[in-house]
Amino acid sequence: MFQDIINRLTFLPRWVIILIDLSVIALSLGLAFFMRFNFNVNTIDMFDPSYSIPIALFISLISTLLTKSYAGIVRYTGIQDAVRILYTEFLSLSFLIILNLIYFYNVGKNLIPYSVLFISFFVSSLLLYQYRLIVKSVFSYYKSSFPNKIPVLIFGAGVAGFLTKQAIEADMTGQYKLIAFLDDDVKKNRKDINGTKIYSYDKLPELVLKHKIKKIIIAVKNLSIERKNEIVDDALNHLIRVSYVTSFDKWLRNDWDVKEIRDVNIEDLLGREVIKLDNKSIETEISGKVIFITGGAGSIGSELARQVLSYKPHTLVLIDQAESPLYEIERELRAKNQQTKLFVFVANVCNKSRIRKIFNEFKPHTLFHAAAYKHVPLMESNPSEAVSVNIFGTKLLADLAVEFRVQKFVMISTDKAVNPTNVMGCTKRIAEIYVQSLNRHLEKTGMGKTSFVTTRFGNVLGSNGSVIPIFKEQIKKGGPITVTHPEITRFFMTIPEACELVIEAGVMGYGGEIFIFDMGKPVKIFDLARKMIKLSGKELNKDIEIVFTGLRDGEKLYEELLSDQENTIPTHHEKILKAKVSEYQYDEVCRNLDLLEEFIDDKNEHKMVTLMKEVVPEYKSSYSRFEALDIAH
């Protein structure tokens, strides 16, 4: 019953807080008079407290209104409230000293003895803060008796951990019961924070067993991804949920919203450390310029648009076929930046007249080419579409870039272009070959000033069609989770990280390079699915099963970033490497593309794929109807 009363209790009106504060100050003044004059009423009467105390209270009211010391929520009282009270009382003391000086000048005696003023200052400051702490403690005491509270541990006994403890204690729903802190710093072992013990991390199993811990809250700023993964793995092995604090900003403003504590998800564990960018070079390359982004409504293209916009280009042009997503990203970007001119075009990158018209109107300085068909099984079934968009769409954009003297053309490729086993990967490799050979041709002939740069990376977390959104949906439905093969692995990178590296590589490239990104260690998809099940609070084979469906058309077990004939050269950026790749003659590439275009028109898929295998000898089909072509060849 008391819990219901506490939950329904609203904040006290501010006038009530002011009235209580003035009552405490009046009590402090009375005590100060008695203390100063040893409880001698006759001596006190000489200073007429019935006249001086109301004046002092009026000045205290003015100081309170000026500093708004009443504004803090009493049950959330913290250090900031103590500072505000001290400031208010110091302001009142200053006003009263000035008033005393004026009174003495006119009457010849003090209105209130200075000793009384200083005693009152210390007593009122102490009592005003103390009664707030008492109210806070009463709330905390009754909330601690609420049933069904979740016993939790906080990892991190620093300032962030202390703020998390305060947020838990201030939470009116009383959903958490803080048992202890865990910390890697052995010097903090067995100490406490406001009565809550700190233990070394190796005490986790013991605390879990003793207190039936249900959750660990990570409260450490800038905790490394490796350490976060270790904590999560340990917690999941003990069947404990893991949360972390998304931001401490609200808490620093005394807004103790426990919604800042959020469950860890798989993206938090696959991300990596913050990337250091050469912001000055990027700003020089983008600020005040006209920037084109093809595929601007896609996962990569839309994030590129967000990041490019932050460098304040003069004009940003987005091109995509997807009408609804393009509309959404347009709305988002217009709300963020009113200075940059933003234009969006629903257009197919294979439509020569349409794309030429856009180039002619805006004359871009830099073009980020993210438009492509990317889904392997779909493109295996529709190879002519993959060839049209991924190869000839790229060729059209590259040729127009030369014609309109675009300074930088940044193509976004994929790890599936390395030793391709599917049509999609091979089309991206041929697109790489074309832009690289075109760049070399321009360097030799001096016929153009466009620099062509290619970036190559693996899967991005949360992109359209990636496994993580699919697994989340399957878990939400109660399973099963479908995995193609128990040994299949993939590289993963967050979308923001991939786009940051694309921009950085685009700026550092002089032309003709293929940059590959440090994708970290490959992740086994089965392990990924298993961890996602645990993170959702469910058990494998009890709540949700994993079903193996077999490799799909064109799919391979292991993705690569370099072929067997390639190696890398380091760059100034630790996460960006330059690939040394086999180079092709521009004239030969053009002849093959002319022939390939004829095969598209003839709708002869086998001839088309056979020619692709001749252009890219390392292309060997896997789990595909085109495997027969490899045998015949």
Q: What is the pLDDT of residues 365-402, one digit of tens each?
A: 999 999 999 888 899 999 999 999 999 999 999 999 99
Structure tokens at 476: 């939400």
**Where are the alpha helices (H) located in 145-176, listed in sequence order?**
159-170
Question: Does residue 9 surpass a pLDDT of 50?
Answer: no
Looking up tokens 């000086």 gives 101
Cα–Cα distance for residue pair 297/91, rounded to 1 Å: 57
- Could you tell me the pLDDT band of residue 592, with boundaries at 50, 70 and 90? very high
In CATH, the number for domain 148-264 is 3.40.50.720
| Two tokens, residue 487 | 């040994």
Mean pLDDT in residue range 118-123: 79
272 vs 163, more confident: 163
pLDDT of residue 532: 84
- As a 3-state breakdown, the chain gives helix, strand, coil percent values, each rounded to 5, of 55, 15, 30
Indicate whether 437 pLDDT > 90. Answer: yes
CATH 3.40.50.720 range(s) for the chain read: 148-264, 279-615
Is the per-residue pLDDT at 327 higher than 80?
yes
CA atoms within 13 A on the CB side of 620: 5
Give CA separation, 360 vs 353, 363, 365, 400, in Å: 10, 6, 12, 9
CB neighbour list of residue 447: distance below 8 Å, 6 or more residues apart: 402, 441
Q: Report the distance separating Cα 269 and Cα 488, nearest Å.
A: 19
Q: Are strands 176-183 and 196-200 parallel, antiparallel or unpaired?
A: parallel
Determine the pLDDT at residue 353.
94
Q: Name the strands in the sheet holding 408-414, side by side, starting at the edge strand that comes first in the sequence.
A: 341-346, 315-320, 290-294, 366-369, 408-414, 451-457, 514-517, 576-580, 567-570
* pLDDT at 26 exceeding the cut of 90: no
126 CB contacts (<8 Å, ≥6 apart)?
Answer: none
CA distance 194 to 226: 30
Beta strands 261-263 and 241-245: pairing type? antiparallel
What is the mean predicted confidence (pLDDT) over 534-556? 80
Instruction: Tell me if 309 sits within 8 A of 316, measured CB to CB.
Output: yes
Name the residue with higher pLDDT: 588 or 479.
588
Are the beta carbons of 360 and 604 closer than 8 angstroms?
no
Judge contact between 132 and 74, C-beta under 8 A.
Answer: yes
What is the mean pLDDT of the segment spanning 482-498?
82
pLDDT above 90: residue 6: no
C-beta neighbour count of 137 within 10 angstroms: 13
For residue 216, the 8-state DSSP code is E
CA 610, 611, 612, 617 dihedral sign is: positive
Distance CA 56, CA 99 (A): 10
Q: Which residue has the higher pLDDT, 438 or 229?
A: 438
**Residue with token string 């207190």:** 211
The answer to whether 271 touches 498, Cβ cutoff 8 Å, is: no
Between CA 18 and CA 31 the distance in angstroms is: 20
Question: Catalytic residues, which ones?
Answer: 416
Gap between the Cα atoms of 3 and 75, Å rounded: 15
- Find the helix or strand (DSSP H, E) in which 209 lies: helix 204-211
Could you tell me the end-to-end alpha-carbon distance of the chain, in angstroms, rounded to an integer?
81
Confidence of residue 561 (pLDDT cuts 50, 70, 90): low
Which pLDDT does position 43 carry in this prediction?
64
Angle between the N-to-C axes of helices 14-36 and 114-144, in degrees from 0 to 180, rounded to the nearest 10: 130
Q: Which region among 3-17, 277-291, 541-555, 562-576 has the lowest average model confidence (pLDDT)?
A: 3-17
Cα 16–Cα 20–Cα 24 angle in degrees, nearest 5: 170
In the numeric block, the tokens 């009383």 are attached to 174
* CA torsion angle 604 610 612 618 (round to 10): 160
Q: Which of 92-101, 358-367, 502-511 has the lowest mean pLDDT?
A: 92-101
The pLDDT assigned to 518 comes to 72
Rg of the chain (C-alpha set) = 34
Lowest-confidence pick of 29-33, 171-175, 357-361, 482-486: 171-175
Percent of the chain past pLDDT 70, that is, above it, reads 83
Average pLDDT on 63-92 reads 69
Superfamily name and number for 279-615: NAD(P)-binding Rossmann-like Domain (3.40.50.720)
Both tokens assigned to 446: 């001096």
What pLDDT shows up at residue 560? 62
Which among 561, 221, 326, 520 is positioned nearest to 420, based on CA atoms?
561
What value does the mean pLDDT of the chain take? Answer: 81
* pLDDT score of 465 more than 70: no
At 524, which helix (H) or strand (E)?
Answer: strand 523-524
Q: Is 265 helix (H, G, I), strand (E, B) or coil?
A: coil
Which range has the worst mean pLDDT, 205-214, 370-379, 432-441, 455-464? 455-464
The length of the chain, given as a count of residues: 633
Which tokens is 358 given?
């856009």
Instruction: Report which of 573, 184, 612 is spatially closest to residue 428, judged by C-alpha positions.
Output: 612
Q: pLDDT higher for 251 or 590?
A: 590
Distance CA 573, CA 9 (A): 56
**pLDDT band, very low/low/confident/very high, at 317 (cuts 50, 70, 90):** very high
